[in-house]
Amino acid sequence: MKSNKTRVQKSGMKRPHKSASQHEADSPSGLRFGLAVELTVERLDSDGIGVALHSGRQILIPGTVPQDRCQARITHFGKTVVFADLIKLIEPSPLRLQRCPCSDAALCLGCPLIAMRYGEQLRWKQQLVQAAFDGYPSLKGIVVPRLLTPERQLQYRTTAKLAVAGTHADPYIGIYRRASHDVVDLEDCPLHHPMINTVIKVVRAGISKLKVPIYQDKNKTGILRYLVVRVSESSNEVMVTFVAARRAFNEIHHLARLLQEKVPQVAVVCQNVNSSEGNVIFGAHDHFLTKQQTVQERIGQVELLVSPRSFLQAQNDGARLLYETARDWAGLDGSQQVLDLYCGIGGIALTLAPLARQVLGVELNKDAVADAKRNARLNNAKNCRFEAGDVLELLDDLLEDELRFNCIVLNPPRKGCDREVLDKVAEFAPERIVYVSCSPQTLVRDLDILVAKGYHCEKVQPVEMFPQTPHVENVALLVRKELKIA
């Protein structure tokens, strides 16, 4: 029987520790593995983890906030920092909530800011982005404003990608604990849309009832590896993907049937087959167990059909703020040609389309482009087309065809844009570049390159996409220097 205490499925992979003598040799201050020390947290690192100092050494303590005075136990020595687990709070910080929405935050670490007052979270994120801009002389004039915030700070996540571990008799469904392969079993995650938590409970019970074999990485046996759940708030439908190590007819079909009986909102069930090793969740092949293969979501004024492997922001309100900021800063009046690079399933492109003459979206992922084309038809966006292919190669083709664009939108993955892509973008000499980013560090790196190529960074707007976490999205506007806005 499942207890109320948070459970962690150990991966069996042990982190090597140094001997006590080696620890002491590395640490003149006397810090050693297992030692309990009293510390005061001075700040958060970029991952939202509390940082304290002890005899000149930085100690990271998950689950703490600045000004916490606490007792912590040393657990690991890194190259530059020491890691510790929180034992108890001696004197809680005034920045800390009196009652944290999640009793498991220090163990799970999925939302490291959740114990901090929300206004302080926003202030910290604003300062994080400002520090990134201040690190580049070319961007030092930028003053980062307050974050645009969604209505909800809890129960906002409409997508969850979850690991499945343990055995059918004792299944774990949750997320990997930070810096490990240990799976934290999730009961009622306060960030998840309630329907996701409902699906998790039913699937967990179904695994046990139907004796569904869970994949064991050590000996490569079993079937079920991951559970991916997406909720459409506009249609009140749920899409569930069971990621299996091999095609499993009976087990997954029976589990899907049980899930739909218990949760009638589940409209789409897919079995994805991923037999590869490593931590990539999805494999190449989808097998639908329902006639319906997509759910429909609404972001702002745009309707989007979403398939199992489609990328769509996990926070609908935050996505709307992001899309609308990009639209407002693109400076469109119906006469402009727009190029949207890394367009995904077309959310931003379709938001811009009503105000543009033509929009071309480019994306490497063929499945995403197929979704984007369907979404263009759904929204009757006849001036919006999409092409699949390598961004750099397609930019070369567009330059060779002497096509010109008034506005280029960049929305790359976390690693940012390759230097060659930025070089090609500058060759088009668009009047405006709207850069949408999920990483302040790669954003400012790329903005600095574009500034050196004749652009001026006019402004940036951080957007709160993931409350309770250290993540912050940003939209930046660049204008060609000779067209600089007064």
As a whole number of angstroms, the distance between CA 162 and CA 279 comes to 12
Q: Is residue 304 part of a domain?
A: no
- Look up the CATH number of the domain holding residue 279: 2.40.50.1070
With 90 as the cut, is the pLDDT of residue 415 above it? yes
The per-residue pLDDT for 2 is 43
With 60 as the cut, is the pLDDT of residue 14 above it? no
Q: Is residue 28 part of a domain?
A: yes
Residue ending a domain, among 241, 272, 299, is 299
Q: Which two tokens stand for residue 47?
A: 């991952």
Domain identity same for 81 and 18: yes
**Total of domains in the chain:** 3
Q: Which amino acid is at 280?
A: V
Q: Is residue 373 part of a domain?
A: yes
What is the tens place of the pLDDT at every residue in 308-328?
988 888 899 999 999 999 999
The per-residue pLDDT for 229 is 97
As a whole number of angstroms, the distance between CA 418 and CA 416 comes to 7
With 70 as the cut, is the pLDDT of residue 210 above it? yes
Q: Is residue 43 part of a domain?
A: yes
Q: Which two tokens stand for residue 466?
A: 């993931």
The per-residue pLDDT for 103 is 79
Residue 342 is assigned to a ligand binding site:
yes
With 60 as the cut, is the pLDDT of residue 128 above it? yes
- Look up the CATH number of the domain holding residue 478: 3.40.50.150
Domain identity same for 331 and 417: yes
With 90 as the cut, is the pLDDT of residue 240 above it? yes
| Average pLDDT score over residue span 184-189 | 90
What is the tens place of the pLDDT at every residue in 330-358?
999 999 999 999 999 999 999 999 999 99
| Average pLDDT score over residue span 400-409 | 93
Residue 438 annotated in active site: yes
The per-residue pLDDT for 104 is 78
Domain identity same for 146 and 166: no
| Average pLDDT score over residue span 388-407 | 93
* Given 189, 384, 438, 457, the catalytic residue: 438
What is the tens place of the pLDDT at every residue in 56-98?
899 999 999 999 999 999 998 888 889 999 999 999 999 999 9
Domain identity same for 397 and 422: yes
Looking at every residue in the chain, the average pLDDT score rounds to 91
Residue ending a domain, among 299, 331, 356, is 299
The per-residue pLDDT for 51 is 96
| Average pLDDT score over residue span 361-379 | 95
Q: Is residue 115 part of a domain?
A: no
With 60 as the cut, is the pLDDT of residue 40 above it? yes
For residue 18, the enclosing domain spans: 8-96
What is the tens place of the pLDDT at every residue in 283-312?
989 999 999 999 999 999 999 999 998 888
The per-residue pLDDT for 16 is 42
Domain identity same for 331 and 469: yes
The per-residue pLDDT for 86 is 92
Q: Is residue 366 part of a domain?
A: yes
Domain identity same for 197 and 332: no
Residue 130 is assigned to a ligand binding site:
no
HEC string for the chain? CCCCCCCEECCCCCCCCCCHHHHHHHCCCCCCCCCEEEEEEEEECCCCCEEEEECCEEEEECCCCCCCEEEEEEEEECCCEEEEEEEEEEECCCCECCCCCCCCHHHHCCCCCCCECHHHHHHHHHHHHHHHHHCCHHHCCCCCCCCECCCCCCCCECEEEEEEEEECCEEEEEEECCCCCCEEECCCCCCECHHHHHHHHHHHHHHHHHCCCECECCCCECCEEEEEEEEECCCCEEEEEEEECCCCCHHHHHHHHHHHHHCCCEEEEEEEECCCCCCCCCCCEEEECCCCCCEEEEECCEEEEECCCCCCCCCHHHHHHHHHHHHHHCCCCCCCEEEEECCCCCHHHHHHHHHCCEEEEEECCHHHHHHHHHHHHHCCCCCEEEEECCHHHHHHHHHHCCCCCCEEEECCCCCCCCHHHHHHHHHHCCCEEEEEECCHHHHHHHHHHHHHCCEEEEEEEEECCCCCCCCCEEEEEEEEHHHCCC
Q: How far, rounded to the nearest angstrom, does the alpha carbon of residue 1 sit from its chain's CA centroid? A: 33
Domain identity same for 373 and 466: yes
Total Cβ atoms within 10 A of residue 97: 15
Residue 315 is assigned to a ligand binding site:
no
Domain identity same for 133 and 228: no
Residue 375 is assigned to a ligand binding site:
no
Domain identity same for 246 and 322: no
Domain identity same for 417 and 282: no
Q: Is residue 118 part of a domain?
A: no
Residue ending a domain, among 248, 273, 299, is 299
Domain identity same for 280 and 346: no
- Cα-based distances in Å from 467 to 43, 125, 147, 301, 325: 19, 10, 11, 23, 19
Min mean pLDDT across 19-28, 366-375, 410-419 is at: 19-28
Q: Is residue 109 part of a domain?
A: no
- Look up the CATH number of the domain holding residue 61: 2.40.50.140
Domain identity same for 135 and 172: no
| Average pLDDT score over residue span 194-204 | 97
Query: Which span out of 15-24, 30-39, 127-136, 476-485 was modeled with the highest average pLDDT?
Result: 127-136
